[in-house]
Amino acid sequence: MSTTTPSANYAGDLSALEAWELLKGHAHARLVDVRTSAEWNFVGLPDVSDLGHELELVEWQTFPLGQQNPSFVAQLEQAGADKSAPLLFLCRSGGRSRMAAIAATAAGFTRAYNIAGGFEGDLDGERHRGHANGWKASGLAWKQT
């Protein structure tokens, strides 16, 4: 049973495990990592190759200035994202990916989801990421570049 949190502005929030299951069951679904190039290079990347998917890398905010990427929607379209297929957006902890899902929905993508908890998740009691929730804490495949 899904625990998708509905939203008026996008398809809703999914846990990392729900996102994995959606990717596993839908050949046209896409995982879009919206973190910065520095995060991709130094923190690691989700690995969805065992599911027969390729990871899309589209920065929501540009590195190093942190400005919103003015070409975000155009880059999604250039990547061949289907406007009716599930798009699952991932960032560090779920904030930027939520904004990306809202922007994609506004641009006509009808199934844009935010992965709550993101790649590294929320801070734990010791103020570290990667243990409380998110992609890594869920034990999902990832790789260091």
- Contact in structure between 101 and 5 (CB atoms under 8 Å): no
- How much is the pLDDT for 64? 87
- How much is the pLDDT for 74? 96
CA dihedral for 69, 70, 71, 74, sign (positive or negative): positive
Strands (E), the chain: 12-14, 30-33, 45-46, 55-57, 87-90, 112-115, 142-143
CA dihedral for 25, 33, 110, 7, sign (positive or negative): positive
- How much is the pLDDT for 3? 53
pTM, two decimal places: 0.90
Q: DSSP assignment, residue 72? A: H
User: Which residues does 45 contact at the CB level (< 8 Å), separation at least 6?
Assistant: 33, 55, 57, 142, 143, 144, 145
CA distance 80 to 82: 6
- Mean pLDDT value of segment 45-56: 96
Cα–Cα distances in angstroms (integers) from residue 13 to residues 43, 111, 113, in the given order: 23, 11, 6
Of 3.40.120.10, 3.40.250.10, 3.40.50.920, 3.30.2290.10, the CATH number of 13-81+94-105+117-143 is 3.40.250.10
Q: For the chain, what are the domain ranges?
A: 13-81+94-105+117-143
- Mean pLDDT value of segment 97-126: 92
Per-residue pLDDT reduced to its tens digit, 55-92 = 999 999 998 888 999 999 999 999 988 999 999 999 99
Q: Kindly list the strands in the beta sheet with 12-14, ordered across the sheet, starting from the edge strand earlier in the chain.
A: 12-14, 112-115, 87-90, 30-33, 55-57
Structure tokens at 24: 């596993």
